[in-house]
Structure 1
Amino acid sequence: MGQYLSGAARADTALTAKPARSHAYAWLVFALIFALLLSDYMSRQVLNAVFPHLRLEWSLSDAKLGSLSGIVALMVGLFTVPFSLMADRWGRVRSLAVMALLWSCGTLACALSASYGHMLAARFFVGIGEAAYGSVGLAVILSIFPPSMRATLTGAFTSGGMFGAVLGMGLGGVVAARFGWRAAFMAMAVFGLIVVLIYCVAVTEARLARHAAGSPATRGQAVPGRVRPPLPALLGGLFWAPSLVCAYVGSGLQLFIAYAIMAWMPSYLNRYYDMPSDKATLLAAALLIVSGIGMTLCGMLTDRASRNAPARQLTLAILFCLVSCALLLAGFRLPPGTAQLLLIGLGMLLAMGTWGPAGAMVVGLSRPSTHATALAMLTLANNILGAAPAPYLTGLLADRIGLLGALQMVPLISLGAAVVFLIAKPRYLRDLRLAEARNETERTLA
C-alpha cells in the first residue's frame, strides 16, 4: 500500500510538474523567436546608421544609398507569401533557422563588402532571409500557446520589429562611431548567428509536437505540418470568409496612419519645432517604442475582453481606430508644444493596436496548417495598404498643402478602417463557427 501511495504521489507530482515545464518551454520558444525578430530588424536598420560612412567612403549618391535599403523591402514584399507557403508545407521550425542563418550571413557579407555592388548583393540576401520570418515565426508561437492569448502574442511579437529597428539604428550608430561601419554590421551578424545557434539546439519540430500533445492549453490543436491540403484549397482558404478579408483590409488601412506619421515625424519636428536632425530622430524613435508598447497592451486588452466573447475583438479594433483618430486629429491641430506631443504620443500608442485583434481574427478564421501563409497575407495587406504607400502619398499631399496640413488629414483614414471592421462584425461569429467546424475535421485527420 505504501509503495502504491508513493507511486501515486509521484504520478500526481509528475502531472502537476509537466504543465509547468511545458509552459516554461513555450515561453523559451517565444523568447528565442522574439530574439531572432530583433536580429531581423537590427540587421535591416543598421544600414541607416552608417549611411554617412558609406557616402563618404564610396562617394555614393542618395539614390544608391536608398537602393541599399529598398532592396530589402522589395524582397520582403515579393517573397513574404510564397516563402510562408513553402514553410507551411516544408516545416516552419527548420524554415526559421534557414531564414535567420541567411540574413545573418548576408549581414556579415555587408561587413566584408568592398564596393557598392558587393553591398547591394549582400543586402539582397538579407531581404530574402527576412522575407517571411515575421509570419512564420508568429505562426510557430501561436501554435504552442492557447487561443485565448492570440491577440496578446500577435501584438507582443510584432512589437519586436519596432524595438529591433530602434536597437539597430542606435547600437549601429554607436559601434560605427567607435569602431567603424564594418564593425556595426559585424556586431549585428554575430548576434544573429549566436541566437540562431541556440534556437537550433532548443527548438525542433519533435519537441514542439510533444509540447502540443502534453500541454492542457494546446492539446487538441492541429500540429503544424501534419495536414497538408492541396495547393488550390490552401490558397482559397486565405479569402474564403468576408470577415477574413475585412481583417486584412482594415488592418492595412489603419497601419497607413502609423507608418505615415513615423516616416514624417522627424521632418515635422525639424520644421515646426526647429529641432536638430539628431534630436528629431531620437524623439521619432521614442514614438516607435511607444507604438511597440501599445501593440502589446492593446493585444492583452483584446484577449482579456474577448475571452468568452470573440466579437469583442472587432469592437476593440473599431475603438482603437476611432480613439487614435480623435487623439491624432486633436494633436496635430494644437500649436507646437508639450500638449501636442503628448496627444500625438497617446494616438501612436493606439494607432497600431489593431494588429493584435486582426492577427487573432486571421488565425481563428484560417486552417492551423496554413497559419503562416494567412499571417503573410495580413503582412502583405499591411504593406500594400499601409507601409508602402503611406510615406509617399503623405509626401505628395504635403507638397500641395504643407506637411502640417498633410498630417492633419492622414488620421481620417482611421475612419475607413473602422468602417471595414464594422462591416465584418455581424459576419464574424458565423464565419468563426464555420472555421471551427472545418478545423475540427483537420484535427481529426492529424
Structure 2
Amino acid sequence: MELHCANPAVSDAAASTIPRRYAWVVFALTFGLLLSDYMSRQVLNAVFPLLKAAWGLSDTQLGSLSSVVALMVGLLTLPLSVLADRWGRVKSLVLMALLWSFATLGCALATHYGEMLAARAIVGLGEAAYGSVGIALILSIFPAHLRSTLTGAFMAGGAFGSVLGMALGGYVAVRFGWRWSFGVMALFGMVLVAVYWMTVTEKRIASNQAREVRTDGTRIGLRGLVSALFSSVSVICAYIGSGLQLFIMAAVLAWMPSYLNRYYGLAPDKAGAGAAVFVLIGGIGMVVCGIATDRLSRGVPARKWLTAIAYCAVSFVLIGLAFRLPAGPLQLVLLGAGLLVVAGTSGPAGAMVANLTPSAIHASAFATLTLANNLLGMAPGPLVTGFLADRIGLLGALQTIPLVSLGAMLAFTLGRLRYTRDLRRLDSLRPHAAAQ
C-alpha cells in the first residue's frame, strides 16, 4: 500500500485543462443542486404542525420523518461515494438529484405516515453521497490553492438550502397546502437536473478525474483503507465529538418551527421563516468559527482541539440557559448566540481529520466524518427529541438535549490528550506531510 501526499503543482496542472469560466459554471450548478438537496430535506420541518394536525402524528413520528433522511445519508455516504468515483461523478450526481427530486414528489403524494416515511427514506438515499461526490468533482477542476475557499463556500450551501426550504416551504404550505411545499421543491430539483445534464459533460470532467488519479499514485485496498481511516485514538475522537455536537444543532433546528408555533403562537409560515433565521445563524457560525479557529491555531495545530472544546462549552451554557427562560426576546437572543457556535466544531473537526489521515484518502476520511455526523448527530437528534417530547413536552426535551455537548467535550478532550503522540507517529509514516 502506497500513500502519498497530494502535490499542489500537479493538481494545478490537472485543473488547468478545464477552462476557468466552465469550471465556475460547474461550481454554480453543483452548488445549486446542493441547495435543492437541503431544500428537499428541510422543507419537512416547516410543515410539522400541518402534518401533525392532518394525520394526528406523534412527535416521535414527526421526528422519525426527519431522522430517516440523515440515517440513510449516514449509512450510505461512504459506499456510494466509492461507487461514484468508479462509475462517474457527473452521472452519479445527476442520478442522485433525480432520485431525491422524485422522492420529494412522492412526499407530496403520500396519503399516510408509512408512505411518507418510505418517501423520506428514498430522499435520503438520493442525498447520501451528494456532498462528498459534489465537492470531489469541484476540487478536481480547480487549482489546489483554491480548495479551502471552495470547500467552505460549497458546504455553506447546506445552511442556505435549509433556510430556503424552511422559509419557502412554510410560505407555500399556508397558502396552498403542505403538499405543494414538497411539490415546489421537487420541481426546482428536476428543472436544475435538466440544466445540469445539458451543461456539465461527463467526458470533460472524467478525463480530468482520471488524470488526477494517475498523478496521485495511490493504490489502497479495503483493509488498508479502513486501517488508515481509524488509525489513531485522536481521529476517532474527532469523528465522535463532531457527530455528538451536531446532535444538538439537528435537534434544535428540526423542532424550531414547532417550538415557535407552540410557544410563541406563530403561524406555520411565520414559524418556518423564524426558524430559517436560526438556520442561517448556524451556517454563518460554521464559517466564522472556522476562520477563528485557523487564526487562533496558526502555528499551533493542537489549539484546534481547544477551540472545539470551547465551542461545545459555550453552546451548552447558552442553549441550555435559553430554553429555561420564558418565551421572549432574551430567550431568542441567547438561542441565536448558542446556535452561532453550536456547529463551530465542524471546522476544527475537519482539520483534525485531515491532519490525522493520509492526504491520499481524504475523500474517504471526510465521508467517514459525514457518516459519524449523521449516525451520531443528524439522524438521532430530531428523533430522540420527538421521543422525549411525547413524554415530557417539547420544551422539556429541548431543555435536555444540550447535555449531549458534555459527551462531545469529553471526546475532544481525550483526542487532545492523544493528538501530539498520534500525529508524531503518523508523521513518521508520511514525512512530507505538514499539519495545518
Does TM, normalized by the shorter one, top 0.5? yes
Contact 1:155 1:353 in 2 (8 A): no
1:43 is aligned to 40
Q: How far apart are the structure 2 equivalents of 1:140 and 1:86? A: 14
Deviations 1:152-187 (CA, angstroms, capped at 9, x unpaired): 665543342232233224334545666676765554
| Contact 2:49–2:268 under 8 Å retained in 1 | no
Change (3 A) 1:328 1:128: closer
The counterpart of 1:421, out of the listed 412, 418, 427, is 412
For residues 207 and 440 of structure 1, do their structure 2 counterparts lie closer, same or farther at Cα, with a shift above 3 Å needed? farther
In 2: Cα distance, 1:52 partner to 1:164 partner: 21
SS in 2 for 1:62: coil
Question: How has the CA–CA distance of structure 1 residues 185 and 253 changed in structure 2, closer, same or farther, with 3 Å as cutoff?
Answer: closer
User: CA contact under 8 A between 1:139 and 1:371: conserved in structure 2?
Assistant: no
Partner of 1:62: 57
- C-alpha distance in 2, partners of 1:334/1:114? 39
Unmatched segments (≥5 aa) in structure 1: 1-14, 214-220
Instruction: Return the alpha-carbon distance in structure 2 between the equivalents of residues 37 and 30 of structure 1.
Output: 10
The answer for the alignment partner of 2:319 in structure 1 is 328
The match for 2:164 among 160, 164, 167 is: 167
- The structural deviation recorded for 1:252 is 1.3
SS at the partner of 1:336? coil
Q: Given the alignment of the two structures, is residue 82 of structure 1 paired with residue 76 of structure 2, yes or no? A: no
2:335 matched residue in structure 1: 344
- Would you say the 8 A contact 2:389–2:397 is kept in 1? yes
Contact 1:101 1:196 in 2 (8 A): yes
Does the 8 Å contact 2:89/2:137 carry over to 1? Answer: yes
Contact 2:245 2:312 (C-alpha < 8 Å) held by counterparts: yes
CA contact (8 A) 2:67 2:381 kept: no
Higher RCO (C-alpha under 8 Å, 6+ residues apart): 2
**Which region of structure 1 is more displaced relative to structure 2, 394-403 or 93-102?**
394-403
Q: Deviations over 1:206-263 (max 9, x none)?
A: 55875999xxxxxxx9779863411111122221122210111111121122223224
Change (3 A) 1:94 1:266: closer
Task: Please tell me whether Structure 1 or Structure 2 has the larger radius of gyration of its CA atoms.
Answer: 1
Instruction: Identify the range of structure 1 (65-74 vs 169-178) with the bigger mean alpha-carbon deviation.
Output: 65-74
Cα 1:83–1:400, aligned 2, differ >3 Å: closer, same or farther?
Answer: same
**Corresponding residue SS for 2:279:** helix
Alignment of 1:120-131 (within 5 A): 123-131=120-128
Residues 1:343 and 1:317: Cα distance change in structure 2 (over 3 Å): same
Judging changes above 3 Å, is the alpha-carbon distance between structure 1 residues 117 and 316 closer, same or farther for their aligned structure 2 residues?
Answer: closer
Compared with structure 1, are the counterparts of its residues 109 and 325 closer, same or farther at alpha carbon in structure 2 (3 Å cutoff)? closer
Contact 1:155 1:295 in 2 (8 A): no
1:157 equivalent among 150, 154, 158: 154
Indicate which of 232, 235, 257 corresponds to 1:244. 235
Counterpart for residue 217 of structure 1: none
The alpha carbon displacement at 1:301 in A equals: 2.4
Rounded to whole Å, the distance in 1 between the matches of 2:396 and 2:62 is 29
Range 189-198 or range 227-236, more displaced: 189-198
Q: Percent identity?
A: 56
Instruction: Map Cα deviations across residues 96-144 of structure 1 (whole Å, 9 max, x no partner).
Output: 2332233234445666789998877655543321112123323444565
> Are the equivalent residues in 1 in contact too, given 2:50–2:178 (CA < 8 A)?
yes
- The letter for the 1-side match of 2:57 is D
Residue identity opposite 2:250 in structure 1: Y
Alpha-carbon contact 2:218-2:360 (below 8 Å) kept? yes
Structure 2 distance, partners of 1:95, 1:439, is 33
SS at match of 1:287: helix
Greater displacement, 417-426 / 386-395: 386-395
State the match for 2:376 in structure 1: 385
Supply the distance in 1 between the matched residues of 2:48 and 2:420 (Cα, whole angstroms): 50
- The equivalences for 1:429-444 within 5 A come to 429-432=420-423
Q: How does 1:229-268 map to 2 (within 5 A)?
A: 229-268=220-259
Contact in 1 for aligned 2:70/2:375 (Cα 8 Å): no
Q: CA deviation at 1:337?
A: 2.4
**What TM-score comes out, normalization by structure 2 length?**
0.76
Cα distance in 1 for residues equivalent to 2:348 and 2:262:
36
The 3 A distance-change label for structure 1 pair 300 and 265 is same
* CA-to-aligned-CA distance 1:43-97 (integer Å, 9 cap, x gap): 23445667799899xx856379887666544533432232123234444444323
Question: Once superposed, what is the RMSD of the aligned Cα atoms?
Answer: 4.3
Deviations 1:351-376 (A, max 9, x none): 01111221222233334454333223
Question: 1:31 and 1:210 mapped to 2: Cα distance?
Answer: 18
Q: Does the 8 A contact of 1:331 with 1:341 survive in 2?
A: yes
Aligned mate of 1:286, from 262, 277, 288: 277
Q: 1:106 to 1:314 in 2, by over 3 A?
A: same
Once the two structures are TM-superposed, the CA of residue 349 in structure 1 deviates from its matched residue by 0.6
Question: Which residue pairs with 2:291 in the alignment?
Answer: 300
**Native 8 Å contact 2:170 2:270 kept in 1:** no
Tell me what 2:9 maps to: none
| Cα distance in structure 1, aligned partners of 2:356 and 2:20 | 25
Partner Cα distance (1:396, 1:122) in 2: 21
Stretches of structure 2 that go unaligned for 5 or more consecutive residues are 1-11
Q: For residues 241-287 of structure 1, what are the alpha-carbon distances to aligned partners after superposition, in whole Å with 9 as ceiling and x for unaligned? A: 22210111111121122223224434544554454555444322321
Assess, with a 3 A threshold, how the Cα gap between structure 1 residues 258 and 205 changes in structure 2: closer, same or farther.
farther
Contact 2:88 2:202 in 1 (8 A): no
Deviates more, 1:153-162 or 1:429-438: 429-438
